[in-house]
Amino acid sequence: MLKVIVPEEKNGLLPIDQLSDISMINQELARTLNDSQGIIAEMCNHLLHAGGKRIRPLLALYSGMIFSEQAKPRLIQAAIAVELVHMASLVHDDVIDESNLRRNRPSVNKLWGNQAAVLGGDYLFAKAFSVLAENHLVRNLNLTVQAIQEMCHGEIIQAEARFNLQQNLDDYYRRIAKKTAVLLQCACKCGAIVAGATEPQIEQIGAYGLNLGFAFQIVDDILDFSGDSTVMGKPKHEDLTQGNLTLPALLLIEHPQFGAWFKELIIHRQFSAEELRQIDKILAETGLIQTSFEIALSYIERAKQILDSFPDTRNRDFLVGMADQLKTRTQ
Amino acid sequence: MLKVIVPEEKNGLLPIDQLSDISMINQELARTLNDSQGIIAEMCNHLLHAGGKRIRPLLALYSGMIFSEQAKPRLIQAAIAVELVHMASLVHDDVIDESNLRRNRPSVNKLWGNQAAVLGGDYLFAKAFSVLAENHLVRNLNLTVQAIQEMCHGEIIQAEARFNLQQNLDDYYRRIAKKTAVLLQCACKCGAIVAGATEPQIEQIGAYGLNLGFAFQIVDDILDFSGDSTVMGKPKHEDLTQGNLTLPALLLIEHPQFGAWFKELIIHRQFSAEELRQIDKILAETGLIQTSFEIALSYIERAKQILDSFPDTRNRDFLVGMADQLKTRTQ
Within-domain flag for A47? yes
| Dihedrals phi, psi of A105, to nearest 5 degrees | -130, 160
Whether A39 and A97 have beta carbons less than 8 Å apart is answered as no
pTM of the entire predicted model: 0.89
Give bridge partners of residue B102 from the DSSP assignment.
B105
Within-domain flag for A2? no
Give the pLDDT confidence of A227-280 residue by residue, as tens digits: 877 777 778 898 999 999 999 999 999 999 999 999 999 999 999 999 999 999
Show residues of chain A in contact with B35, CB under 8 Å: 149
Within-domain flag for B32? yes
Return the amino acid letter for B327. Answer: K
By percentage, how much of chain A surpasses pLDDT 70?
94
Whether B4 and B30 have beta carbons less than 8 Å apart is answered as yes
Within-domain flag for B2? no
Confidence of residue B36 (pLDDT cuts 50, 70, 90): confident
Number of domains in chain A: 1
Residues of B near A (CB-CB distance < 8 A)? 35, 37-40, 88-89, 92, 95-96, 114-116, 118-123, 125-127, 129-130, 132-134, 136, 138, 141-142, 145-146, 148-149, 152-153, 155-157, 159-160
- Residue in B38, B146, B152 nearest the CB of A156: B38
Beta strands per DSSP E along chain A? 101-102, 105-106
Whether A180 and A85 have beta carbons less than 8 Å apart is answered as no
Chains A, B: CB contacts under 8 A, how many? 124
Give the pLDDT confidence of B219-257 residue by residue, as tens digits: 999 999 998 777 777 788 989 999 999 999 999 999 999
Confidence of residue A100 (pLDDT cuts 50, 70, 90): confident
Which pLDDT does position B5 carry in this prediction? Answer: 46
For residue B97, pLDDT beyond 60: yes
Which pLDDT does position B172 carry in this prediction? Answer: 97
Per-residue pLDDT, averaged over B74-96, amounts to: 95
Confidence of residue A14 (pLDDT cuts 50, 70, 90): low
Per-residue pLDDT, averaged over B212-224, amounts to: 96
Which pLDDT does position A92 carry in this prediction? Answer: 93
Contact A138 B142 (CB under 8 A): no
Give the pLDDT confidence of B248-275 residue by residue, as tens digits: 999 999 999 999 999 999 999 999 999 9
Interface probe for B, chosen from A35, A109, A123, A152 (most Cβ of B below 10 Å), is A152
Pairwise pLDDT comparison (B301 vs A227), residue with the higher score: B301
Confidence of residue A84 (pLDDT cuts 50, 70, 90): very high
For residue A10, pLDDT beyond 50: no
- Looking at residue B286, what DSSP letter applies? T
Return the amino acid letter for A202. Answer: I
Within-domain flag for A329? no
Within-domain flag for A331? no
Return the amino acid letter for B299. Answer: Y
Confidence of residue A13 (pLDDT cuts 50, 70, 90): low
Whether A93 and A202 have beta carbons less than 8 Å apart is answered as no
CB proximity list for B1: less than 8 A, separation 6 or greater: B34
Among B28, B120, B129, B130, CA closest to B80: B28
Number of Cβ within 10 Å of residue B192's Cβ equals: 30
Distance from CA of B230 to the nearest CA of A (A): 28
Within-domain flag for B4? no
Which pLDDT does position A275 carry in this prediction? Answer: 96
Give the pLDDT confidence of B118-164 residue by residue, as tens digits: 999 999 999 999 999 889 898 999 999 999 999 999 998 998 899 99
Residues of A near B (CB-CB distance < 8 A)? 35, 37-40, 88-89, 92, 95-96, 114-116, 118-123, 125-127, 129-130, 132-134, 136, 138, 141-142, 145-146, 148-149, 152-153, 155-157, 159-160
- Tell me whether residue B39 is exposed, middle or buried, using C-beta atoms within 10 angstroms of its C-beta: 0 to 12, 13 to 18, 19 or more: buried
Per-residue pLDDT, averaged over B91-99, amounts to: 85
Q: Determine the structural domain holding residue A265 and report its residue range.
A: 17-324
CB proximity list for B14: less than 8 A, separation 6 or greater: B7, B22
Interface probe for B, chosen from A33, A115, A144 (most Cβ of B below 10 Å), is A115
Mean pLDDT of chain A: 91
For residue A182, pLDDT beyond 80: yes
For residue B91, pLDDT beyond 50: yes
CATH number, domain at B199?
1.10.600.10
For residue B110, pLDDT beyond 90: no
- Residue in A38, A88, A133 nearest the CB of B157: A38
CA distance B23 to B8: 9
By percentage, how much of chain B surpasses pLDDT 90?
73
- Residue in A92, A115, A145 nearest the CB of B159: A115
Which pLDDT does position B120 carry in this prediction? Answer: 93
